[in-house]
Chains A and B, each alone.
Chain A
Amino acid sequence: MLEPIHVSLESLNLITLAPMLIAIAGGLIILILDLINGKLHKSLYVMMTILILFIDFGAVLGLNVNERGFFDVMLIDGISIISQLMIIGGSMIFIPLALTSKRFHEYSYPEFFALFLFMIAGFQFMVATDNLILIFVGIETASLALYTLIALHNRSNSYEAAVKYFTMGALAAAFFAMGSAVVYALTGSIELYKVAEVMATRLNETGLMIAIFGSSVLLLVAFSFKLSLFPFHTWAPDVYEGASAPLAGYMSVIPKIAAFVVSIRLFGMYIDLGVEWVRIVILVMAVLTMTLANIMALVQNDVKRMLAYSSISHAGFIMAALALDTTEGNTAIFLYYALFMFTNLGAFAMLWISRHKKRRFDKRYDHPYEKFAGLVQIMPMGAVVMGIFMLSLAGVPPFSVFWGKIYVMQAAVNAGYIWLAIVMALNSAIAAYYYLKLVVYMFLKDPVKDVDIVYYNISKPLMVIIGFATVATVAAIFYVQPLVSYLYYMISASGY
């Protein structure tokens, strides 16, 4: 007869689950509110979401570093805490962008906000575990919610985007499942710390190396989809174009942070084990991603597509830092995203305020460059702010992304990859051209249609968010030090 299982509540350490549970409960509360009174205004839901995220943020801050919980499935280490903080912080900046002056379809549904919170819970699960199954569950929860959020933007190309993202995402999930299955078959475990132990003892077996090769290829493919790395990046520009501008900005940062955390855990493990070719593959992909995406961005006619390609290129930049597998490299990933988040969300929010219900400047695109021609004459502050975002993305000091860039490049130099730093430098130079193109349009050309207003969708909450993003972009020099030392401390504390 089997022994009855005794599990004490203390050993479960349920507090490690609290942040995700808060987000899920928050989503449920929003749904219940809708049941009770169906006529509530979107501003209530936005504020509710922010409040729930606020509690969530607090719960994450209260976690202790390096704890396990819930049958040792949850792993609360430094990177899981900082990534959760960044995910929640980014979401808190994102969600007020729903408060536009014009009415948009998706925000009239409370489901939008509930799904949004479920998605955040999914991301939090992804980063707070080293169990491959829970990672899978997290990815799927978050992705399914995200597909729906995209489709809710009621337009034909939003459906196209959602379906495209869904098919690609499903494929990636299949690759991930197969990769995990191979890992399980090899080591008899789905927990990465045990996988690493088993693999370390058996690395000299040739047959095993081939299997490791297979598993890591499958996993790499899966995460290349999620991180939009070349050659699995093709969905990104279309999906970004179809999604609403703030959601596109959100997708270019937050899901990638979560995917990067899992990548650090997975591929960092492979590289630590001495499987050198994983590093080589990642480096090659990173270099190709940043270069080709940059070249593609050069020829775009639409600012949103340009920003989509530029986000891909930035992801390639950061992927290169992952291949270094040093504490500095990993710190660089988080520092870069923390700084990039404000600027990129700000830039997409600037597109959002200029969004028209109908396409007035171009038949094919929402945000052609011509739309921003002479913006400095129409809306001087808006042009200056957008110009600052563009210069920041181009890596002009002292704006925020510059500090991320030099940290990544310094990490590359320190790890002995000087050629990589030079490739990054040259890529920044290529990228400068297309960011500059927008600046040139805004400042140096005359407006195309002076009858039409560009800043169509602006409202006070949006201005506050953009103002916040601007301050964070301009004043980066003053907060980089505490940010770096905190990130470095948390990452080295969790042993990456």
Chain B
Amino acid sequence: MDNILSILVFFPAVAGLLGFVVDKESARAYGITVAAIEFLLSLWLWFSFDMGNAGMQFVELIPLIPDMGISYYLGVDGISLFILIMTTLMTLIGMASMGETKNIKNMIVTLLFLEMTMVGVFVALDAIIFYLFWELSLVPMLYIIGAWGGPLRIYASIKFFLYTFTGSLIMLVGMLFVAYIYHNLTGVWSFAITDWYALVLPVDYQLWLFAAFFVGFAIKVPMFPFHTWIPYAHGQAPTIGSVILAAVLLKMGTYGFVRFSLPMFPDASVMAITPIAVLAIIMVIYTAMIAYAQKDMKQVIAYSSVSHMGIIMLGLFAMNAEGLSGSVFQMLSHGIVSGALFMLVGMIYERRHTKLLSEFGGLAAVMPKFAVIFGVMLMASVGLPLTIGFVGEFLVLLGFYHVSPVITVLAGTSIILGAIYMLRVMKLVFFGPLDNEENKKLKDLNARETWSLIPLVAIVIWLGVYPKPVLQPIDNSVKSLLVFMEGKARTDEAKDMIKTAKTSTSIQEAK
């Protein structure tokens, strides 16, 4: 099946359309089955993926609007493959663990459409098709937050939509300008990203374009100071909304940096290392501090998720194989861990209808299974060795150490700060006296909840102990990306930056 990517993109959409016909009572089972099939398809993609090949695979190219240079162009490489699998996995598990009962059919249909757009973003190789899925993903999310959210849901959903929409329109202008330059140089219109990679742009153009793309991606990540929409979105969204938002939608931003900014504007990227590193450090430390001050459990997770996105950003701009691979790996681990944490918070919220830390205490006694799973995820979030969180975080820090030891040390505080606010949550919720009467009657996780979380626990530990099957293909693609960037860079600084980083890795490999 060479066109498996198209199937992956359109299967959920078709299933969503047909889902309108399915009876309300059976909608959940329908959704879970469809998501499971989609997940199996993505696993199949993994098994038929050629690990030795660092380039794009399963490429499909159909010209759609040749006069404007727009074509239906899909492909997958080591970087997008695992984000794609993570997307289908988290949709499946999110759907399986979902406690929502109101308007369940609409929710299932919306989620299936959302899955289409998310898969589409990660496999699109044409900028306009990428943009199409990118923008389209806002609509289902708007509906999920707006229809099933908390009291401020409408404000939160509009803020989410407008923020991202504005940023991506600026990015669209950037895309149009790249296409214009491409047309000037070659006489052909093309929005294919792989065609754009061939462009060697003057440094000032690179800087402007980098800025345009940065606005689009940074809002999505969300980078400080564009992060203000996310506390509202997470605070008001239903559990499933937060899970998908944290696990997948935020990754679109960081993935955009890998797919567009780094290979297309290598010189500008090298120049942007310091500013972005500073923003990332602010993200890491500042949001960690905010997380510590939160009274609401979900907000702690939300800010910790932003804090960890800072580490991912730092890794992307390390310009070496460790940093980038670690960063991509951290995207996966962040997706799984923060998704799981949001699910766990959602489960306790369904039982107690509050998320306030002060309402809880001593839950370990009444909900042992919940406490264990929460503990594992919390440790993974902090970055304890032998969990999935450690691998990515360690690699990122290792990679960025070549760039700037000082910043790396500052970023390293994320592990300490993370431990502080996370262990505070642990302490307040699970330990101490069980003094609230209502908490004494709490039921532990039921079978559905347990079985939707156990796969995530298994992955957290499996990839923490033995990350190689995932890390190897990522590393291949990342290395070819770096070689490409070095070849393309125009300024000596950029060449040196990318080169020194590379030699240092080969030295380490030799050791």
Establish whether residues A410 and B67, one from each chain, have CB atoms under 8 Å apart when the complex forms. no
Of residues 117 through 168 on chain B, the ones whose CB sits less than 8 Å from some CB of chain A are 128, 131-132, 135-136, 138-139, 142-143, 146-147, 153-154, 157-158, 161-162, 165-166
Within the complex, the shortest CB–CB distance from B47 to chain A, in Å, comes to: 32
A433 to B169, CA, bound (A): 14
Per the CB 8 Å criterion, the residue count for chain A at the interface is 34
Instruction: List, in ascending order, chain A residues with CB within 8 A of B136's CB.
Output: 396-398
A484 to B170, CA, bound (A): 24
**Which residue of chain B is the closest to A377 with respect to CB atoms?**
B103
Chain A residues near B309 (CB, 8 Å)? Answer: none
Instruction: Tell me if B's interface is mostly helix, strand, loop or mixed.
Output: helix
Residues of B within 8 A of A398 (CB): 132, 136
Q: Is the CB of B177 within 8 A of A406?
A: no
> Do A425 and B162 contact each other (CB < 8 Å), given the known contacts A396-B139, A413-B180, A414-B180?
no
Min C-beta distance of B71 to chain A, whole Å: 11
Smallest CB gap from B179: residue in A: A410
Q: Is the CB of A444 within 8 A of B169?
A: no
In the bound complex, how far is the Cα of B65 from the Cα of A480, in angstroms? 7
Question: Is B68 located at the chain interface by the 8 A CB criterion?
Answer: yes
Interface assignment of A426: CB less than 8 Å from any CB of chain B: yes
**A439-B179 Cα distance, complex, nearest whole Å:** 33
Partner of A444, one of B66, B147, B166, B180: B147
What residues of A have a CB within 8 angstroms of the CB of B66 in the complex? 481
The answer to the question of B43 belonging to the interface, with a C-beta cut-off of 8 Å to chain A, is no
- Contact (A481, B180) CB under 8 Å given A398-B132, A432-B161: no
Q: Is the CB of B67 within 8 A of A418?
A: no
**A409 B161 Cβ-Cβ under 8 A:** no
Chain B CB within 8 A of A454 CB: no
In angstroms, Cα B135 to Cα A466, docked, is 25
B276 in the interface (beta carbon within 8 A): no
Q: Which residues in A have their C-beta under 8 angstroms from that of B176?
A: 406, 409-410, 413, 421
Query: Given A391, A395, A433, which contacts B139 in the complex, CB threshold below 8 Å?
Result: A391
Docked-complex contact A406 and B172, CB < 8 angstroms: yes
**Interface presence of B465 (CB below 8 A):** no
Residue A269, interface by CB 8 Å: no
Check B67–A484 contact: CB distance below 8 A: yes
Q: Which of A396, A425, A426 contacts B135 (CB under 8 A)?
A: A396
Decide: A444 and B67 in contact? CB cutoff 8 A. Answer: no
Given contacts A410-B180, A418-B173, A425-B169, contact A485 B67 (CB under 8 A): yes
Contacts of B132 in A (CB 8 A): 397-398
- The A372-414 residues at the B interface (CB cut-off 8 A) are 391, 394-398, 403, 406-407, 409-410, 413-414
Contact B165 A432 (CB under 8 A): yes
> Quick check: is B14 within 8 A (CB to CB) of the other chain?
no
A contact residues around B147 at 8 Å (CB): 443-444
Q: Are A488 and B67 in contact (CB under 8 A)?
A: yes
A433, B162: Cβ atoms closer than 8 Å = yes
A477 interface residue (CB < 8 Å to B): yes
* B128 surroundings in chain A (CB, below 8 A): 397, 406
Cβ distance A403 to chain B, nearest Cβ, rounded Å: 8
What residues of chain A lie closer than 8 Å to B29, measured between beta carbons?
A: none
Which residues of B lie under 8 Å from residue A413 when comparing CB positions? 173, 176-177, 180
| Distance (whole angstroms) from the CB of A151 to the closest CB of chain B | 39
The CA of A322 and the CA of B468, in the complex, are separated in Å by: 58
Interface contact A407-B68, CB-CB below 8 Å: yes
Within 8 A of A (CB), among B163-192: 165-166, 169-170, 172-173, 176-177, 179-180, 183
Give chain A interface residues in 418-472, CB to chain B under 8 Å: 418, 421-422, 425-426, 428-429, 432-433, 436, 439-440, 443-445
In-complex Cβ contact of A429 among B131, B142, B158, B166 (8 A): B166
Provide the residues of chain B in CB contact with A439, threshold 8 Å: 142
* Inter-chain contact B146/A440, CB cutoff 8 Å: yes
**Which residues of the partner chain A approach B131 to less than 8 Å between Cβ atoms?**
397
Write the nearest CB–CB distance from A108 to chain B, whole angstroms: 40
Contact A429 B169 (CB under 8 A): yes
Give Cα A255 to B274, complex, Å. 55
Out of B64, B161, B173, which one reaches A421, CB within 8 Å? B173
Complex contacts, B170 vs chain A, CB 8 Å = 422, 425-426
In A341-398, the 8 Å CB interface with B consists of 391, 394-398
Q: In the complex, what distance in Å separates the CA atom of A398 from the CA atom of B70? A: 12
Specify the chain B residue showing the minimal Cβ separation from A405: B172
Question: How far in angstroms is the closest Cβ of chain A from B255?
Answer: 18
A→B interface (CB under 8 Å): 391, 394-398, 403, 406-407, 409-410, 413-414, 418, 421-422, 425-426, 428-429, 432-433, 436, 439-440, 443-445, 477, 480-481, 484-485, 488
27 contacts between A and B (CB under 8 A): A391-B139, A396-B139, A397-B131, A397-B136, A398-B132, A406-B68, A406-B128, A407-B68, A409-B172, A413-B176, A413-B177, A413-B180, A425-B173, A428-B169, A429-B162, A429-B165, A429-B169, A432-B166, A433-B162, A440-B146, A444-B153, A444-B154, A444-B157, A480-B65, A481-B65, A484-B68, A485-B67
Enumerate the 5 nearest inter-chain pairs by beta-carbon distance, A residue then B residue, closest first: A425-B169, A429-B166, A397-B132, A444-B146, A481-B65
> Besides the contacts A413-B173, A440-B146, A480-B68, what 5 more A-B pairs have beta carbons closer than 8 Å?
A398-B132, A409-B173, A433-B158, A440-B154, A484-B68
